[in-house]
Structure 1
């Protein structure tokens, strides 16, 4: 009897202990699940926060870029406001879409009961390198600051002594001409605006003078003067050839244009004002005479005529597009001392062809 009582007590104890262990295991599982859900929620919230901050930072940089373009004159106020609204809208859409992506990732992992789901989902997995792909990314590609042009100029030429007027000039107004050909480079001074440019290059100038009253130049030692020719002159022309380096500061409005996504500071169809000067060397002079002494004759004189070897002067132009009204004035006298100072000047058209 005693043995039966012992077995019965042992059986009851076993059932009691098993029941307690089962209850403890269930409680642990429930606590583990609760903790896992909390961790997932925390991670998801953190990923959403990071995604939101990333998009806000991109928006901040985009607004800063737009403001810089507004301050530099590249954007007007209307365009800046429009692009700010578009950037804000884009950032809001990106935040919304990234939150949906994060929530869908977590839901799919839970649904598929992925191994270690609650512990393996981490912050780095939720970081996306999404670029704000706006049209202005290409627009920010800026054309080179320096461009080059072919320069061609021609027009009327003349020379005056101090106190002399154009009306009593010693040279024909219509017959005296100049010609210039060269190459020029234009560099905008500032990075993000084009209101000021520097234009410089190399030019070959031909300045021609046709004396009035059947005269020509005669050199007598260091003195060069005009004298009447012994026969009737069909042609009397004195020419000076110069090789110079011109430098101009160019100002004027410009248009913001695009060419295959590249930002251009265009001066096409814009007024431009250039002012500056030139310096170089006289590389030759000659005089051509054509006259009738009973037998048509031509004569070329290539003496130095005591001209100044170093030439320098002032020049300016007023341009619309590629065509300009062009003027230049030699500060150096044509003939060296002790000759009377005679300064050459020109007025004509200039063409800059890119």
Structure 2
């Protein structure tokens, strides 16, 4: 028992000494990083005070605008030189600290294979397998972003160029869409034009009026009155599509610390384009009651529906929310004598 206690004490002492060595290195590295940030902050604040004094002199009329501009330029150059000289001293301290670690003068216990320490937003010190590397990180503006899209609204069909005398309920017939899109800024330094593309799943529901259902007769799919009194009747097509839009985004660019940032979906947006894809499935669901027994019947098949879908779409809105309109150029049923085209109107949400 006594030997075990001695071994345990020695083990704890060894572990503690290794942890202290590691904490000493990291604390020294962070102290140097804080010193660099402090130097930059203090010199910028001093420059700000000096520039304000020059502005006061200009407002009092003791110096001209040209003289004021020249003084500001000279002051900025002087402060930049001071920052460069002071930071150079701190960087030498960092270099010496890194060399000590590489040479094994600063011992560590078991540690991860890699450690990363950041110095502000730009300088990164990374250790991999006891090898120290430094690199400058420069922010790069992303020209392509992604959004989750969800849309819903009213759905119906256009027959002979009109929806006024539609055989489908205007409120009960709906559409849903969800998917993922990518938004790429076309111009490097202009935020107006974007190319928006991706993949979506579309659900187009139609609810017939006057107790009607779709009946397949050969290559024709007709809307006929059901011999059973229906509580509900619904026909649904599901599609997998690839939408493509040219988007006009009026979000203004932002400037900070001498850099220009482009954001999206923060102002008015307008998109125009289309979509194309394939039909995944078709289904008709009817509900009725006979002798106090409720029936819920689902019939699946192609119903002679067009296998491919393509159409035009547009949206206009503010930030994430838009008014969304889409129109199928392909007929709902591929061989029907009367051509009917699906049309949808609703709300669209693009979440960054």
TM value normalised by structure 2: 0.61
> Equivalent residue of 1:317, what SS?
strand
CA distance in 2, matches of 1:259, 1:225: 63
**1:175 pairs with 154, 172, 176, which one?**
172
**Would you say the 8 A contact 2:281–2:301 is kept in 1?**
no
Shift of 1:166: 2.4
Query: Would you say 1:201 and 2:190 are equivalent positions?
Result: no
**Would you say the 8 A contact 2:213–2:225 is kept in 1?**
yes
User: Residues 271-286 of structure 1 correspond to what in structure 2 (within 5 A)?
Assistant: 271-286=268-283
CA distance in 2, matches of 1:149, 1:286: 30
**1:330 pairs with 328, 331, 344, which one?**
328
**1:247 pairs with 230, 244, 247, which one?**
244
Shift of 1:252: 3.3
CA change 1:94–1:145 in 2 (3 A) is closer
CA distance in 1, matches of 2:70, 2:229: 85
| Largest Rg, 1 or 2 | 1
Structure 1 unmatched ranges of 5 or more: 1-83, 99-139
Query: Would you say 1:320 and 2:321 are equivalent positions?
Result: no
> Equivalent residue of 1:254, what SS?
coil
Shift of 1:268: 4.2
CA distance in 1, matches of 2:189, 2:332: 43
Alignment-derived partner of residue 43 in structure 1: none
**1:237 pairs with 234, 239, 253, which one?**
234
CA distance in 2, matches of 1:242, 1:87: 64
CA change 1:212–1:269 in 2 (3 A) is same
User: Residues 286-301 of structure 1 correspond to what in structure 2 (within 5 A)?
Assistant: 286-294=283-291, 295-301=293-299
Alignment-derived partner of residue 56 in structure 2: none
CA change 1:204–1:92 in 2 (3 A) is same
Shift of 1:222: 0.4
CA distance in 2, matches of 1:292, 1:298: 9
1:294-327 Cα deviation digits (max 9, x unpaired): 2221211112111111100000000201001011
The alignment of Structure 1 onto Structure 2 pairs a total of residues equal to 231
Shift of 1:97: 9.2
CA distance in 2, matches of 1:245, 1:86: 58
Structure having the larger proportion of residues in helix: 1
Shift of 1:253: 1.6
**2:348 pairs with 342, 347, 350, which one?**
350
Structure 2 unmatched ranges of 5 or more: 1-65, 81-137
**2:141 pairs with 140, 143, 149, which one?**
143
Query: Would you say 1:310 and 2:308 are equivalent positions?
Result: yes
User: Residues 68-217 of structure 1 correspond to what in structure 2 (within 5 A)?
Assistant: 89-93=71-75, 141-163=139-161, 165-217=162-214
CA distance in 1, matches of 2:148, 2:276: 19
CA distance in 2, matches of 1:277, 1:212: 30
Q: CA RMSD in A?
A: 2.8
Structure having the larger proportion of residues in strand: 2
CA distance in 2, matches of 1:222, 1:157: 24
**Would you say the 8 A contact 2:205–2:234 is kept in 1?**
yes
Alignment-derived partner of residue 125 in structure 2: none
User: Residues 37-76 of structure 1 correspond to what in structure 2 (within 5 A)?
Assistant: none
TM value normalised by structure 1: 0.60
**Would you say the 8 A contact 1:254–1:270 is kept in 2?**
yes
> Equivalent residue of 1:211, what SS?
coil
CA change 1:272–1:300 in 2 (3 A) is same
> Equivalent residue of 1:266, what SS?
coil
> Equivalent residue of 2:178, what SS?
strand
1:103-149 Cα deviation digits (max 9, x unpaired): xxxxxxxxxxxxxxxxxxxxxxxxxxxxxxxxxxxxx9552100000
Structure 1 residue runs of 4+, over 6 Å off?
A: 84-87, 94-98
CA distance in 1, matches of 2:79, 2:332: 78
